[in-house]
Structure 1
């Protein structure tokens, strides 16, 4: 169950995306909301109490406007934090507070030598992170969950099961059509050199792949499920599938690469996110 949600707000996000997404989820999940806004600490100039109050008043006004009387006031808290490292603060705060979900508006400013805050949060936190988009939910929304049923790695097996647990919860709570995709890996080199036709490759291995998917899903009792088998690189195949389905949410796992390895090679979830324009729920491995 989702009982407690931490919302990370950003002055630069469009139309209070993170708070609006929290409003959509809070009542169906029956969750408490804590919204936090940040002021970047500056070594050369101290942040004044007036600046903090101004920021806090603006956050309270946004909460009042967005939530209105939908939730009891005691279920929504807010605070303004002055820090020089948002990710460190959120990581420490989550370790001492039992949040079930983090919500943050997406950031698409990535480059090799700059890791956006949302990517850092995904790598560091052990709490599922919803990277929210402006996309509106349809009356009958669609969820796409990306799994790897062929893995023998214990960490990835655990992530698969958590992905399906969250997908089931979301599907039941919001009456969604659930789609599960298994992307058979094919390197870009083989694809670009026309050594492998990815559609033919997926078709050839479809029966075996669907058997693995059915085995993985057998213990989860998922409602309204459609399975998909595709091939290629996940960062292209999964967004393509999401676009075809017009999925409102993509659920996937992250192994949380950090440091130089994370900077150079990244993470499949991060590469997929780069090509997505919908909500992404990232399930982190337990370290």
Structure 2
């Protein structure tokens, strides 16, 4: 991860994304580009203002935001000459970032994840998770811990090459993270089994998990290469991922959870989201979301 794109927090909020970007950039020796978005409805301005005068108002707001951003960068220690900044007049942040990502290659996008009253994250965050070709790091509201554990979630039951490749990418990301920031690496897999089927077949969830652990541990160790992963670092439970994974994250004291996302397109995606988004409604950690 050598090129980091940061979406700065809005004025009035703590600069969590910038603070996290500083830590990541220093650890990975990465270049940072910081974007700040500003947009105001100008319809309430007097009708007798010309287009040129309205443009002057817009430019004044952009310049004020640029000055504010420079103060934020100085306060967080990100005012190095190599850090690029840009203030953009745009309402639809996610759409702008998506188009920007097609023109510029970045290895990581960092943004603070914001709660709303009826969704865990705002539509901007959902859109980034669905469409970004680069990994997205959503920073949690709680204070960053330099020493923390990482939980990597894998889909071990899938035989699709794209899912297997994503598993390797997720595991490699988790290994890189703990090597730079410390903590323990843990791996999670949710066995796709409903309570109804388990009861109908008289199956023991503990026995099934034990068998699965024996089956998948060698595969995970092979994927991890020279990074040692023991049996105690592999966590397998039967159940729905959005119910099981948050409890796993809490059990291992995870500060970061790495998940794979497969964004649905069209109306179905807007209505249903995906498993990753359901998991996010309960997680209280930083989240690294990676597309195949």
Q: TM-score, normalised by structure 2?
A: 0.86
Matched ranges for 1:240-255 at <5 A = 240-255=247-262
| Structure 1 residue 107, shift from structure 2 partner | 2.0
Residue 180 in structure 1 maps to residue 184 in structure 2 = no
- The change in CA–CA distance for 1:218 and 1:224 in structure 2 (over 3 A counts) is closer
Residue 18 in structure 1 maps to residue 17 in structure 2 = yes
SS at structure 2 position matched to 1:170: helix
- The change in CA–CA distance for 1:282 and 1:271 in structure 2 (over 3 A counts) is same
Residue 122 in structure 1 maps to residue 129 in structure 2 = yes
Counterpart Cα distance in 2 of 1:84 and 1:137: 29
Contact 2:209 2:237 survives alignment (8 Å): no
Residue 61 in structure 1 maps to residue 71 in structure 2 = yes
Tell me which moved more, 217-226 or 40-49. 40-49
- The change in CA–CA distance for 1:158 and 1:107 in structure 2 (over 3 A counts) is same
| Structure 1 residue 109, shift from structure 2 partner | 2.1
Residue 207 in structure 1 maps to residue 211 in structure 2 = yes
Counterpart Cα distance in 2 of 1:122 and 1:105: 13
Residue 52 in structure 1 maps to residue 56 in structure 2 = no
Q: Over aligned residues, Cα RMSD in angstroms? A: 2.5
Q: TM-score, normalised by structure 1?
A: 0.87
What CA deviation, in whole Å up to 9, does each residue of 1:42-89 have, x standing for no partner?
Answer: 473655211101111111100100116xx7x22212111011321121
Pick aligned residue for 1:218 from 218, 222, 229: 222
Tell me which moved more, 174-183 or 46-55. 46-55
| Structure 1 residue 237, shift from structure 2 partner | 0.5
- The change in CA–CA distance for 1:115 and 1:263 in structure 2 (over 3 A counts) is farther
SS at structure 1 position matched to 2:81: helix
Counterpart Cα distance in 1 of 2:20 and 2:96: 22
Counterpart Cα distance in 2 of 1:268 and 1:29: 30
What CA deviation, in whole Å up to 9, does each residue of 1:240-269 have, x standing for no partner?
Answer: 000111101000100111321112321111
Counterpart Cα distance in 2 of 1:255 and 1:64: 37
2:28 aligns to what? Answer: 29
Rg bigger for which structure? 2
May I ask how many residue pairs the two structures share in their alignment?
277
Unaligned runs of 5+ in 2: 46-53
Contact 1:35 1:79 survives alignment (8 Å): yes
SS at structure 2 position matched to 1:159: helix
Tell me which moved more, 273-282 or 218-227. 218-227
2:239 aligns to what? Answer: 232
Tell me which moved more, 182-191 or 125-134. 182-191
